[in-house]
Homo-oligomer: A and B are copies of this chain.
C-alpha cells in the first residue's frame, strides 16, 4: 500500500498506524483528528506522514481509509467523505457495533466503497501514546460483510488485518452485535454500574472500598476506566441487543436475590457450580 488515512488517532488508530509502518515503512499515512492534542502527540510519536484536524482533499490519495472514532461521529465523517473523490478507496471502520454502523453507511455514504470491521482488541487505556503495533497480533478481527460490500473489497480488508497478525472471523452484523452484547458491552455496562454504585456511597466507606478493592472490585474498576465517549456510543448504537440481554441478566439476578432472601442454598450452589464449566472451556481452548 502506498497511501492510507486514519481518522481518529486513539488507541486503535495509533496501533493501526504502528502496525502499517512496521509492515512497510514507506506507506504514507495521513492522520486526521479533531482533537489537537491527540494530533500533536501522534506527530511527536511520528506515527504518520501528514496531520490534519479535518477531512480534506489530501485523503483522496488513500487506498484505504480507517475510521477509528466513536460511532456518534460517523454520520459527519461520511458526509465529509462524500465531498471527496474516492473512486477506488475502501472506507472501513473498527466500531464495536455493526448493525447501526452499516445502516449509517447505507444512509449517508454516497457512491463510496465501505467494508465494516471490528478488531477484538484493546486495553482500558486510550490515546495515541498507549497504542502498540502488536495490539492485533493473535486477536480476532470480525468481518461483517453486508449487501453494500463487494467480495474483493472485503478480502482486501481481511488480508490487511491478517498482516497485522489477526485471525479473521466472518459473521452477520446481527450475530456480531448479539455476541458483543454479552461478551463485551454488558460486562462493561455492569462494571461501570457497580463502580458507580460504590462511588455514590458516603466518603468514609468509599475510602475503605478503595483500600480493600483487591477482593474483586478492582477488576471492575479496570474495565470501567475505558473511554467514556466510546462506550456511550457503543451502548447507544447496540441498544436493542444490550437491552434484550440486560433483561435476561435482570431476571436471573432477581432469582438469585430471591434465593438469598429465602436462604435457598441449593439454588445458589447449583448456579455457582454451573458457571465453572464456561471457565473450564475458556482455559481448555487456551484463551486465558
Residues on A facing B (Cβ under 8 Å): 72, 120, 122, 139-140, 142, 169, 171, 175, 178-180, 182-184, 186-201, 205-206, 208-226, 228-229, 231-233, 235-236, 239, 242-243, 245-246, 248-250, 252-253, 256-257, 260-261, 263, 265, 268-269, 271-282, 285, 287-288
Contacts and interface: CB of A to CB of B under 8 A. Distances in A.
A269 B229 contact: yes
B197 A248 contact: yes
Given A190-B190, A265-B236, A282 B212 contact: no
A190 B217 CA distance: 11
A199 B274 contact: yes
Number of copies: 2
B236 A279 contact: no
Contacts of A72: 265
The majority secondary structure among interface residues of chain A is: helix
Contacts of A171: 208
23 contacts: A122-B215, A139-B214, A142-B212, A182-B209, A183-B215, A187-B216, A187-B217, A193-B271, A197-B245, A200-B248, A209-B278, A210-B278, A218-B287, A219-B223, A224-B272, A224-B275, A224-B276, A228-B273, A228-B276, A236-B260, A243-B257, A246-B253, A246-B257
